[in-house]
Chains A and B, each alone.
Chain A
């Protein structure tokens, strides 16, 4: 990782309203070239709006944005050549091959032919798409399409990547692979700003921001945020039969626990999880539940988000 980092994004006091309703309120954000910044927030928190404003695709009411020292409003071309934006939808044409899509964006940027060819080959190599580069994008998997889109965003002189919920719809293995590619991009000197509502995506970040109702309410490294939340570990309970009675029992535990119902189990966020585990086991045994497992796990950033903001990350803001 480079040690001499420079500020590639400097946003000051950004505000925006839609139909008289404030969606962003005085947001300031600085990102350095070495940063892997993840902005977490539930649907409707304004994170995608903020990203589109920072990437120059959306207008804003007040504030100032500089990309690599160029004012986004005054020096549009100078600022935009340093932006690599990957919106949520798959924007590469299905009728073109992976290489042809890259050539299209390289030509739009006006890259000289030899430079374009060299960059395209390097990016295909980096994204592990070299063998598939001659195939039409229609035949690509979701993960391959996303990698191709990152490659298009890295063409030319992009200093910062803006990614809007890039892992949505990807299965866990592909998501992990995709995030490791992003990490590699970051380690080569391109800053990354990723918005997501998936906590696991934020675990590899160097900085994380929590966004609620158009404001960044907490910010720090994942470790700092976990420390700030006071959470140690959560308790995962897998018991049968799953019923309202079980939920009520867990919710009624003393010890200031928050109970979250997951797909196949219950998760409890407590101040002192290790002390609570024997209590839970005893209580469920006495109530006659079939205990499959009661375990502790380290706090995730989703838990931390919930604790610090009191908003479930996968709900509405």
Chain B
């Protein structure tokens, strides 16, 4: 059997579910859009007008990260847990199908869904006055860093799905982790974070990735530090690889128990 056809099958199925399930659209895309519309009215009233475009640009990047986290760490495990509830994995394990290819199809869904959602959020942000400046040469780097963030969050999502059996519990635990991550290093620029939280940013691939993309699109000065240093980059790449491979391994063992 062709691995490509298995990845494609899994991707098409998950993508259709993600696009048709109102709960997934609501939690992944509509909440960041809501924040994007409401937060500037509440939080940005005292921001000097010349800083407003960059501040809104930073908010757009944070909302894109929130979207990626919600998709990978809440909706992915929720959908896996639902499939397990419905015995899909019993069916799949009786077929000549590889757990790795099936899982890769789900990960591709997270990539494509995040990309589509990000385009909507970025477009809306630009309409609302956000300023995001990316050079032609920096654009592949933005995509690369975003991909690493997706792999890390998807790895966490797979681990949640593999250890939490109930659909609602898997989704809720994912939401809790998303919110913690969001408030400890994504919602606010590094320079505004209390000293207590700053070390966490340097060991959290989501925060590092978010800051890297923000540095590339909004500017290092706005962020208050340069995330493109050897330590942060190494930690991000290493942890993303470890968590993704661990997630894939646990998923293949726990969900596909033969």
A residues whose Cβ falls under 8 Å from a Cβ of B: 52, 55-59, 76-77, 80-81, 83, 85-91, 93, 95-96, 100, 103-105, 107-110, 152, 162
Q: Name 13 interchain pairs, CB-CB below 8 A, sorted by A.
A: A57-B90, A57-B94, A57-B258, A59-B258, A77-B1, A80-B95, A80-B96, A85-B95, A91-B86, A107-B5, A108-B92, A108-B97, A110-B1
Whether B17 and A89, one on each chain, are in contact in the complex, defined by CB atoms closer than 8 angstroms, is: no
- Whether B86 lies near A95 (C-beta < 8 A) is no
On whether A107 and B9 interact (CB within 8 A), knowing A58-B258, A93-B17, A96-B17, the answer reads yes
Instruction: Say yes or no for B13: interface residue by CB 8 A criterion.
Output: yes
- Expressed in whole angstroms, the Cα–Cα distance for A83 and B221 within the complex equals 61
CB–CB A91/B90 < 8 A: yes
- Selected contact of A56 from candidates B16, B86, B258, CB within 8 Å: B258
B87, A91: Cβ atoms closer than 8 Å: yes
Contacts A91-B91, A96-B13, A108-B92 supplied; 15 other A-B pairs, CB < 8 Å: A55-B94, A57-B90, A58-B258, A77-B96, A80-B94, A80-B96, A85-B91, A87-B91, A90-B86, A90-B87, A95-B21, A108-B5, A108-B95, A108-B102, A110-B1
Given A77-B1, A95-B16, the answer on whether A104 and B94 have CB atoms closer than 8 Å is no
A96-B16 contact, Cβ under 8 Å, with A104-B9, A107-B9: yes
Q: A52 — which chain B residues lie within 8 A by C-beta?
A: 90
* Choice from A56, A95, A96, A103 contacting B94 with Cβ under 8 Å: A56
Shortest Cβ-Cβ A-B pairs, 3 listed: A107-B9, A85-B94, A89-B87
Residue in B87, B92, B94 with the greatest tally of chain A CB atoms within 10 Å: B94
Place the interface of chain B in its size category. Answer: 20 to 34
Q: Is the CB of A57 within 8 A of B17?
A: no
In the assembled complex, how far is the CB of residue B171 from the closest CB belonging to chain A, in whole angstroms? 15
Cα–Cα, bound, A93→B88 (Å): 9
- Complex Cα distance, B256 from A56, in Å, reads 11
- Interface check B93, CB cutoff 8 A: yes
CB contact between B96 and one of A59, A76, A100, A104 (< 8 Å): that residue? A76
B210-250 residues at the A interface, CB under 8 angstroms: none
Instruction: Tell me, rounded to whole Å, the shortest Cβ–Cβ distance linking A104 to chain B.
Output: 5
* Alpha-carbon distance between A77 and B10 when the two chains are bound, in angstroms: 18
Is B85 at the interface (CB under 8 A from chain A)? yes
Bound form: Cα–Cα A199–B200 in Å: 63
Partner of B12, one of A83, A85, A87, A107: A107
Q: A155 to B8, alpha carbons, bound, how many Å?
A: 18
> What is the CA–CA distance of A156 and B213 in the complex, to the nearest angstrom?
47
Distance, CA A89 to CA B92, complexed state (A): 13
> Smallest Cβ distance from B28 to chain A, in angstroms?
15
User: Which residues from B are CB-within-8-Å of A89?
Assistant: 85-87
Residues of A within 8 A of B6 (CB): 107-108, 110
A2 to chain B, nearest CB (A): 24
Assembled-state Cα–Cα distance A93/B86 (Å): 9
A81, B1: Cα distance in complex, Å? 10
- Residue in A58, A88, A93, A107 whose beta carbon sits within 8 Å of that of B8 in the complex: A107
Q: Which residues of A contact B85 (CB under 8 A)?
A: 89
Distance A31 CA – B38 CA, assembled complex (angstroms) = 66
Bound-complex Cα distance A107 to B93 (A)? 15
Q: Which chain B residues numbered 77 to 91 have a C-beta less than 8 Å away from chain A?
A: 83, 85-88, 90-91
Q: What's the minimum C-beta distance from A72 to chain B, rounded to whole angstroms?
A: 10
Complex formed: what's the CA distance from A256 to B85 in Å? 47
Contact: B90 with A85, CB < 8 Å? yes
Bound CA–CA A259/B30 (angstroms):
63
Smallest beta-carbon distance A65→chain B, Å? 12
A52, A80, A81, A107 — which one has the most chain B CB atoms within 10 A of its CB? Answer: A107
Query: Which residues of B sit under 8 angstroms from A96, Cβ to Cβ?
Result: 13, 16-17
Tell whether, in the assembled complex, residue B96 and residue A109 are in contact, meaning their CB atoms are under 8 Å apart: yes
B2 at interface, CB cutoff 8 A = yes
Q: Across the interface, do B2 and A110 meet the contact criterion of CB distance under 8 Å? A: yes
Closest chain A residue, CB of each to CB of B85? A89
Give the Cβ gap from A20 to chain B, nearest Cβ, in Å. Answer: 19
Which residues of chain A come closer than 8 Å to B83, judged between CB atoms?
A: 91, 93
Complex contact B5–A88 (CB within 8 A) = no
| Cross-chain contact of A100 among B16, B95, B97 (Cβ < 8 A) | B16
